[in-house]
């Protein structure tokens, strides 16, 4: 339910018949000479290619995910240009001398790494023309993402919606269960996919171009030149696209979290609340997610009103993967239950999912983000109906309001009829006719029985998950959640009271494991499979080489360039040369490797390092930005990123070489000494198992644990305070 303050806030803004209010629920209103609703990826990709191919000054591609290998023309193109995105953009830059192309991709979290193109900088920057500029944007709070899907060409035509230029977004409006051209970059089939994009020109496109330049500035630190004058740009509108609207005011609404001294922007959240409060007859929603506390509360209020509007939601049948099903799926089921209860059996609340057409009847991935209120307003963009899209992620929606203009009202009604006609497998005109005689909910129910493409969605809450899962503001937050709060929510209090006992149990298990390994070497056939003496003999032969020290030190230098874990190299050095010489060679090798990769960071600069460091760069840069030996000591003592990444980020951040080197050696020394001691004692225990060697090993482990606890406590007291504006 809304709290009292939200109810008063919505009421004061909806007494006027106009919903859109610049400065409140939109950034600005800008006139579009033409606007079109592009339903599904096949129409969007075709229009994008047509517009981009004729651009002469600039193209901005901003997305949550962008793949250089995505096929933009699965059905074939007639423009003589390559079909994959990277090659297409490269060809455009080579064809038009004055054209600059800017590609801004979210610097994604590691959770998405398996679903993304590996090393996108290689395909979209290093392999393309120098006027194709690529950047991974990490300028967002911890846990947030850049979720906008924007394309702007010459500030003359702009696209905004839910479709990224990436794999498995292309589909036709038939949404067939099987389509030979609906495949990913590897040729593997993709599931049916439904989404919507909006295309505008004129002043609206120029305003979106301004937004795109600001995003580029924030992501790269580079200020781009002003857009070309309107007289310098020729008509880019695709000839094959018939406008749905002409001479209409387009509202641009945003979500931006507070970050780096900038205030939060929640225009999309306010847009949803104001629009829902103003609805008289029906609210039609298509969305990938459905868990927003604010939007859910507003819908609940309207459903409890006996004279309130119908609420129709078309979403996905289920969340993709066990993680989403166990988190966002539970939140959706909870909200669905609340809305059904608020409806009280009146039949005004309906939730559906879409089946594919043809054989198999796979589920369609409804990825669209559409809101249509009566025939009065339509909003299309990137914002999901979840909490994070209302406050934590970066979003952009375009909205058109009729404001009593019958021409615009009819265009909004036609769009709703097109969308529902597609989902029901019927002609839009027939749906429009039914809604003249019945409510929207009744019209859908009367038509959906024929083809059974639109089915009722009734998600249920697993009692075990429902009991365990915390409130939505932690799993699906509107604002950044501190690690302390997350741990306090997910870890029961009684479990948090026994950290020491758990650590002791883990330590005991480790010692028992070592004892079992030593016993296996001594008293089982393992000793015959891999004789320890053979390994020792090989190490002795290597150690006897005249060049052995230089080879060992060179291995550390090469390992740094290849991002090999430094701990593994230390382990080998101690096994081969013993704890004293092995540690000495390790210190020399680590020092040279650190200096070399630090210099490499200076050479390639911050932009290239951002591509290599990825999402780690935010945290590293903030900590290293405090400078000083103590900061480097803290970063090395409790590593937040691999050895090589820290070195390159330090070099790119222009930290003093003396501070870097001294702080690094002081910070790494305790860990290297502890590792050498531990490895030496493990080798001794394996070679000569017995009570004495295991006792020494146990003492060594105890010393290391106590030293680590002491160092961490010291670090908490002496670590420099966070700078103003840093997110913890």
For the ranges 255-264, 397-406, 475-484, 543-552, which has the lowest average pLDDT?
Answer: 475-484
- Whether residue 721 has pLDDT greater than 50: no
In contact, 553 and 585? CB cutoff 8 Å: yes
Mean pLDDT of the region 378-382 = 98
Q: Which of 393, 448, 399 is nearest to 422 (CA)?
A: 448
Query: Look-up: residue for tokens 């000494």?
Result: 673
- Whether residue 487 has pLDDT greater than 90: no
Mean pLDDT of the region 621-628 = 52
Question: What are the structural domain ranges in the chain?
Answer: 6-247, 265-393+404-475, 498-718
Instruction: Please give the pLDDT value at position 278.
Output: 96
Query: Look-up: residue for tokens 């119908």?
Result: 310
Instruction: Please give the pLDDT value at position 14.
Output: 40
CATH class of 265-393+404-475: alpha beta
Confidence of residue 649 (pLDDT cuts 50, 70, 90): confident
Tens-place pLDDT, residues 389-403: 999 999 999 999 999
For the ranges 271-285, 327-341, 544-558, which has the lowest average pLDDT?
Answer: 544-558
Distances (CA, A) of 543 to 180, 308, 576, 577, 578: 60, 84, 7, 7, 10
Tens-place pLDDT, residues 122-150: 667 667 889 999 998 888 887 789 999 99
In contact, 338 and 486? CB cutoff 8 Å: no
The tokens describing 692, both together, are 């004495």
Residue 248 CB contacts under 8 Å (≥ 6 apart), including other chains = 31, 32, 35, 400, 408
Instruction: Please give the pLDDT value at position 95.
Output: 94
Distances (CA, A) of 85 to 50, 78, 101, 147, 166: 13, 16, 12, 19, 9
Instruction: Please give the pLDDT value at position 580.
Output: 79
In contact, 163 and 369? CB cutoff 8 Å: no
Instruction: Please give the pLDDT value at position 4.
Output: 39
Mean pLDDT of the region 168-178 = 95
What is the DSSP track for 216-258? HHHHHS-PPPPPPPGGG------TTPPPSEEEEEEEEEEEE--
Mean pLDDT of the region 652-667 = 74
Reading phi first (left if > 0) and then psi (alpha if -120 to 50, else beta), residue 531 is in: beta
Cβ burial, residue 330 (10 Å; 0-12/13-18/19+): buried
How far apart are alpha carbons 43 and 581 in whole angstroms? Answer: 67
In contact, 459 and 302? CB cutoff 8 Å: no
Tens-place pLDDT, residues 403-444: 999 999 999 999 999 999 999 999 999 999 999 899 999 999
Instruction: Please give the pLDDT value at position 498.
Output: 45
Q: Which of 140, 244, 165 is nearest to 200 (CA)?
A: 244
Confidence of residue 513 (pLDDT cuts 50, 70, 90): low
Mean pLDDT of the region 300-320 = 90
DSSP 725: T
Cβ burial, residue 21 (10 Å; 0-12/13-18/19+): middle
Q: Is 133 helix (H, G, I), strand (E, B) or coil?
A: strand
β-sheet bridge partners, residue 352: 314, 456
> pLDDT over 90 for what percent of the chain?
48
Instruction: Please give the pLDDT value at position 392.
Output: 92
Residue 348 CB contacts under 8 Å (≥ 6 apart), including other chains = 303, 308, 309, 310, 311, 439, 441
- Whether residue 591 has pLDDT greater than 80: yes
In contact, 154 and 55? CB cutoff 8 Å: yes
User: What is the chain's mean pLDDT, rounded?
Assistant: 79
How far apart are alpha carbons 556 and 421 in whole angstroms? Answer: 64
Tens-place pLDDT, residues 442-484: 999 999 988 889 999 998 877 766 666 666 556 778 877 655 4
- Whether residue 599 has pLDDT greater than 70: yes
How far apart are alpha carbons 283 and 295 in whole angstroms? Answer: 12
The secondary structure of the chain in percent helix, strand, coil, rounded to multiples of 5, reads 50, 15, 35
Distances (CA, A) of 505 to 500, 501, 511, 512, 712: 9, 6, 10, 10, 21
Superfamily grouping for domain 6-247: Endonuclease Chain A (3.30.870.10)
Confidence of residue 570 (pLDDT cuts 50, 70, 90): confident
For the ranges 180-184, 412-416, 512-516, which has the lowest average pLDDT?
Answer: 512-516
In contact, 391 and 254? CB cutoff 8 Å: no
**Same fold: 6-247 with 265-393+404-475:** yes
Instruction: Please give the pLDDT value at position 413.
Output: 97
Instruction: Please give the pLDDT value at position 474.
Output: 62
The tokens describing 130, both together, are 């120098």
In contact, 164 and 187? CB cutoff 8 Å: no
Tens-place pLDDT, residues 672-684: 777 676 666 665 5
Instruction: Please give the pLDDT value at position 482.
Output: 58
The tokens describing 356, both together, are 């594919």
Task: Please give the helix or strand (H or E) that residue 196 lies within, else none.
Answer: strand 196-201
Tens-place pLDDT, residues 12-49: 344 347 999 999 999 999 999 999 999 999 999 999 99
Instruction: Please give the pLDDT value at position 229.
Output: 65
Tens-place pLDDT, residues 58-110: 999 999 999 999 999 998 888 889 999 999 999 999 999 999 999 999 986 54
How far apart are alpha carbons 166 and 262 in whole angstroms? Answer: 30
Mean pLDDT of the region 622-644 = 60
Q: Which of 380, 375, 378 is nearest to 287 (CA)?
A: 380
Residue 239 CB contacts under 8 Å (≥ 6 apart), including other chains = 50
In contact, 254 and 395? CB cutoff 8 Å: yes
Cβ burial, residue 184 (10 Å; 0-12/13-18/19+): middle
The tokens describing 382, both together, are 């990137």
Instruction: Please give the pLDDT value at position 444.
Output: 95
The tokens describing 173, both together, are 């409006």
β-sheet bridge partners, residue 357: 176
Mean pLDDT of the region 304-328 = 80
- Whether residue 595 has pLDDT greater than 90: no
- Whether residue 514 has pLDDT greater than 50: no
- Whether residue 208 has pLDDT greater than 70: yes
Instruction: Please give the pLDDT value at position 329.
Output: 80
> pLDDT over 70 for what percent of the chain?
68
Confidence of residue 10 (pLDDT cuts 50, 70, 90): very low
């Amino acid at each position: 339910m809304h709290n009292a303050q939200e109810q008063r806030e919505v009421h004061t803004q909806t007494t006027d018949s106009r919903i859109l209010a610049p400065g409140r629920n939109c950034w600005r209103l800008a006139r579009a000479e033409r606007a079109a609703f592009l339903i599904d990826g096949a129409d969007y990709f075709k229009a994008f290619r047509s517009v981009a191919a004729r651009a002469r000054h600039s193209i901005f591609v901003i997305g949550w995910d962008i793949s250089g290998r995505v096929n933009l023309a699965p059905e074939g193109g007639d423009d003589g240009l390559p079909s994959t995105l990277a090659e297409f953009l490269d060809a455009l830059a080579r064809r038009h001398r004055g054209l600059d192309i800017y590609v801004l991709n979210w610097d994604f979290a590691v959770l998405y790494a398996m679903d993304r193109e590996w090393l996108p900088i290689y395909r979209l920057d290093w392999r393309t023309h120098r006027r194709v500029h690529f950047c991974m944007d990490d300028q967002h709070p911890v846990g947030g993402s850049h979720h906008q899907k924007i394309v702007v060409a010459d500030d003359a035509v702009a696209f905004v919606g839910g479709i990224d230029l990436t794999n498995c977004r292309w589909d036709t409006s038939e949404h067939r269960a099987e389509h030979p051209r609906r495949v990913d970059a590897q040729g593997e089939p993709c599931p049916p996919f439904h989404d919507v994009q909006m295309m505008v020109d004129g002043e609206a496109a120029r305003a979106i171009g301004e937004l795109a330049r600001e995003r580029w500035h924030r992501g790269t630190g580079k200020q781009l030149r002003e857009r070309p004058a309107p007289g310098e740009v020729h008509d880019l509108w695709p000839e094959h696209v018939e406008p749905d609207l002409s001479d209409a005011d387009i509202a641009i609404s945003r979500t931006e979290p507070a970050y780096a001294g900038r205030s939060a922007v929640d225009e999309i959240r306010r847009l949803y609340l104001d629009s829902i409060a103003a609805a008289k007859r029906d609210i039609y929603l298509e969305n990938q997610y459905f868990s927003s506390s604010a939007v859910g509360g507003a819908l609940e209020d309207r459903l409890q009103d006996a004279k309130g509007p119908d609420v129709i939601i078309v979403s996905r049948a289920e969340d993709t993967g066990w993680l989403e099903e166990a988190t966002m799926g539970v939140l959706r089921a909870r909200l669905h239950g609340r809305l059904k209860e608020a409806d009280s059996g009146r039949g005004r609340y309906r939730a559906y999912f879409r089946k594919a057409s043809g054989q198999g009847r796979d589920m369609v991935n409804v990825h669209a983000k559409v809101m249509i209120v009566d025939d009065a307003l339509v909003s299309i963009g990137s914002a999901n109906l979840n909490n994070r899209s209302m406050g934590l992620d970066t979003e952009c929606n375009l909205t058109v309001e009729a404001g009593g203009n019958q021409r615009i009202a009819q265009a909004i009604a036609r769009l709703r009829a097109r969308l529902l006609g597609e989902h029901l497998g019927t002609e839009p005109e027939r749906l429009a006719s039914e809604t003249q005689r019945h409510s929207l909910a009744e019209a859908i129910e009367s038509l959906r029985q024929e083809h059974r493409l639109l089915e009722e969605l009734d998600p249920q809450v697993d009692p075990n998950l429902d009991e365990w899962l915390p409130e939505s503001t932690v799993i699906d937050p509107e604002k950044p959640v501190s690690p302390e709060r997350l741990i306090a929510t997910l870890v029961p209090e009684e479990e948090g009271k026994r950290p020491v006992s758990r650590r002791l149990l883990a330590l005991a298990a480790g010692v028992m494991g070592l004892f079992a390994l030593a016993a296996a070497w001594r008293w089982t056939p393992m000793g015959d499979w891999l004789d320890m003496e053979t390994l020792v003999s090989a190490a002795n032969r290597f150690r006897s080489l005249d060049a052995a020290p230089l080879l060992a030190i060179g291995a550390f230098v090469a390992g740094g360039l290849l991002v090999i874990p430094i701990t593994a190299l230390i382990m080998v050095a101690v096994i081969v040369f013993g704890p004293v010489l092995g540690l000495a060679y390790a210190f020399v090798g680590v020092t040279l490797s650190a200096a070399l990769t630090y210099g490499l960071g200076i050479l390639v600069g911050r932009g290239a390092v951002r591509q290599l460091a990825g999402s780690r760069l935010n945290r590293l840069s903030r900590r290293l930005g405090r400078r000083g030996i103590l900061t480097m000591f803290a970063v090395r003592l409790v590593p937040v990123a691999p050895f090589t990444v820290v070195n390159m980020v330090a070099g790119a951040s222009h930290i003093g070489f003396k501070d870097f080197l001294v702080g690094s050696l002081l910070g790494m020394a305790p860990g290297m000494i502890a590792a050498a001691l531990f490895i030496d004692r493990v080798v001794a225990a394996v070679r000569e198992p017995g009570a004495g060697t295991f006792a020494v090993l146990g003492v060594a482990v105890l010393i290391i644990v106590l030293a680590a606890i002491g160092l961490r406590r010291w670090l908490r007291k002496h670590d420099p305070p966070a700078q103003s504006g840093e997110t913890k």
